[in-house]
Amino acid sequence: MADPSGSCFVEDILIQDGIVQKTGLFTPPKNVLKINAGGLVCLPGLVDMHVHLREPGQTHKEDMVSGSRAAAAGGVTALLAMPNTIPPCDSPEAVRFVTRRGASLPVRVYQAAAASKGLAGEQLNDFSVLKAAGAIAVSDDGRPLPDAGIMKQALIHAKAAGLPFLSHCEDFSLSRGGLVNEGEISRILNVPGFGNDGEAVCVARDVAVAECNSLPVHICHVSTAESVNIIRSAKARGVSVTCETAPHYFTLTEDLLLSRDADYRMNPPLRTRRDMKAVLAAITDGTIDALATDHAPHSPAEKADFFSAPNGVIGLETLLAVSYTRLVKPGHITLWRLAELTSQAPSKILRLPFAGIKPGAPADFCLFDPDWEFTVEPEKSRSKSRNTPFKGMTFFGKVKYTICRGKVVFDSEHKF
Ligand SMILES: [Zn+2]
C-alpha cells in the first residue's frame, strides 16, 4: 500500500471518525472492523470530475443513488455532477437540491452549475450566487459556449467567483452533429462525421481567450492529437490551461464503430490510432492533467438504434481498472502518477482538499487487486444503464473495497 503524496509505504491504516488516525506497523485496537488488505494496492479515492447523474429529469437512465453506487464500485469517492439535467442546474435552488442530497449518498457528490441560462449559451448566470449555493465549478458541458465573447466573459466571471470553468470544446459549424469521427469510418457508414477540427478549433479559441486575458480554463474530454498539441504548447508558454481525457480515448479507436453499435458512440467520438497514441503520450508527458469518465448513462432502449441513439457511455466502474491496465501495467506511467491523474490533480483543479493517505486526512480511499483479471459484464453494473464501450473486454485491477468518509461504501464480496 502506498501514499503517493507522501511517497511512503504503509502497512496498516487505522481509521476513526472518518479520519486516518495512524499508518504504519502497529497492533490494532480491539473492537475495530478489520479489513485484510494483503496483496491489495491502496490509492486515494478517485475523484471523477466529469459525471452525468441524470437527476433530476432522466432518472430512468441514472439517479444520484445509482450513480454514486456505481462510483463506489469503481473506487471513486468524489464526483462532479454536470449541470445538463432536466431542467438544467442553472439556479441556486437547483444547486441546493443536489448538495442537500449529497450528504446521504455513499460518495461525495459535488455539482457544476450551468454557465449560461438554460445552457443556451447566451446569457451568463451569476457565478457568485451559484457558488454560494454550493456549486464548485461552472460549465455548459454537452455544449460549447458558442460565442468567443461570451466565453471571455465567462472566464472573467469564473475567475472573479473563484470557480474553475470547464469547457466542452466543439465548434458546431464543423462537428455538424457528426455521429462518428470524420474520415474513413464515417464514409463507410455513410453518416456525418465530427472531425478533429471540430474539437481543436474550439480548444485553440479557448486557449487564446485564456492566454490573452491571463485567465484559467479547463478543457474537458480531450480526444485529438491536435488538441493535445495546442494544450502542450500553451502550457509551455505558461498559459493557465488544464485538461482531462477519458479512458476510452486512450484505449479504443473508431474502427469499433463498424459494428454499428451505439455503445461505442460518445461526444467527442472515438478517434484514430494516431489520436489514441497522442493522448497516451500526453498522459505520459504531463500535458493531460486528469482522467475523468464523462460517465453518460443512456437506457438500452435509447441506445438500441445506432443512428438515432444519443451520445455517451458509462465509465465510473471501469475508470480505475482500464487506466491501471492500459497505463500502469505496460509501464507508461507509475502508480503514483495514476493517483495524481485520478485523485490529486482533479482535486486541485476543482479546489477540493487533497491530503493523500496519512494521519489527519479524510479516510477516502480504495483498495484494488492489481492481479485480479476480470471481464466487463454490463448486466452486473451498479449503474442503471448498460452502455459501456468496454463490454466483454478484460482488465486487471478489480476494486475490492472503497472507503469514503471512513465507511466501507463498496465491498466486492457483499454487494452494496
Ligand atoms: Zn462534454
Q: Residue 1 has what pLDDT?
A: 43
DSSP letters, 304-352, are SSTTTPPS-B--TTTHHHHHIIIIITTTSS-HHHHHIIIIIHHHHHTT-
pLDDT in tens, the chain (416 residues): 444 454 345 578 999 899 999 888 888 888 888 888 888 999 999 999 999 999 999 999 999 999 999 999 999 999 999 999 999 999 999 999 998 988 899 999 999 999 999 999 999 999 999 999 999 999 999 999 999 999 999 999 999 999 999 999 999 999 999 999 999 999 999 999 999 999 999 999 999 999 999 999 999 999 999 999 999 999 999 999 999 999 999 999 999 999 999 999 999 999 999 999 999 999 999 999 999 999 999 999 999 999 999 999 999 999 999 999 999 999 999 999 999 999 999 999 999 999 888 899 999 999 999 999 999 999 999 999 999 999 999 999 999 999 999 999 999 987 54
The neighbour count for residue 311, using CB atoms within 10 Å, is 18
Residue 41 DSSP SS3: strand
Q: Per the structure, how many domains does the chain have? A: 1
* 271 Cα to the center of ligand 1, angstroms: 16
CATH of the domain at 65: 3.20.20.140
- The catalytic residue positions are 294
Q: Which domain holds residue 326?
A: 45-358
Q: Pick the closest to residue 90 from 115, 109, 57, 110 (CA basis).
A: 115
* 398 Cα to the center of ligand 1, angstroms: 27
Beta strands in 182-238 (DSSP E): 193-194, 217-219
Q: Pick the closest to residue 137 from 404, 348, 288 (CA basis).
A: 348
Contacts 24+ apart (CB under 8 A), 209-212: 209/148, 209/151, 209/152, 209/155, 210/155, 210/234, 210/239, 210/240, 210/241, 211/237, 211/239
Angstrom distance (rounded) from CA 71 to CA 187? 37
Does residue 5 belong to any structural domain of this protein?
Answer: no
Does residue 387 belong to any structural domain of this protein?
Answer: no
DSSP single-letter state for residue 259: G
Reported as type and span, the H/E element at residue 158 is helix 148-161
Does residue 363 belong to any structural domain of this protein?
Answer: no
Burial of 335 (0-12, 13-18, 19+ CB in 10 A): middle
Does residue 165 belong to any structural domain of this protein?
Answer: yes
* 168 Cα to the center of ligand 1, angstroms: 5
Does residue 229 belong to any structural domain of this protein?
Answer: yes
* 222 Cα to the center of ligand 1, angstroms: 10
Does residue 264 belong to any structural domain of this protein?
Answer: yes
**Is 296:62 a contact under the CB 8 Å cutoff?**
no
**Is 115:155 a contact under the CB 8 Å cutoff?**
no
* 265 Cα to the center of ligand 1, angstroms: 13
**Is 323:346 a contact under the CB 8 Å cutoff?**
no
Q: Counting runs of H as helices and runs of E as strands, what totals does the chain give?
A: 13, 18
* 162 Cα to the center of ligand 1, angstroms: 22
Radius of gyration of the chain (CA): 20
Q: Residue 169 has what pLDDT?
A: 98
Q: Residue 347 has what pLDDT?
A: 98
Kindly state the cell numbers that stand for 197: 477540427
* 410 Cα to the center of ligand 1, angstroms: 28
* 233 Cα to the center of ligand 1, angstroms: 23
Does residue 375 belong to any structural domain of this protein?
Answer: no
Does residue 401 belong to any structural domain of this protein?
Answer: no
Kindly state the cell numbers that stand for 150: 461570451
* 40 Cα to the center of ligand 1, angstroms: 34
* 362 Cα to the center of ligand 1, angstroms: 30
What residues flank ion ligand 1 with Cβ within 5 A?
141, 168, 220
Q: Residue 10 has what pLDDT?
A: 57
Kindly state the cell numbers that stand for 85: 439535467
Angstrom distance (rounded) from CA 241 to CA 229? 13
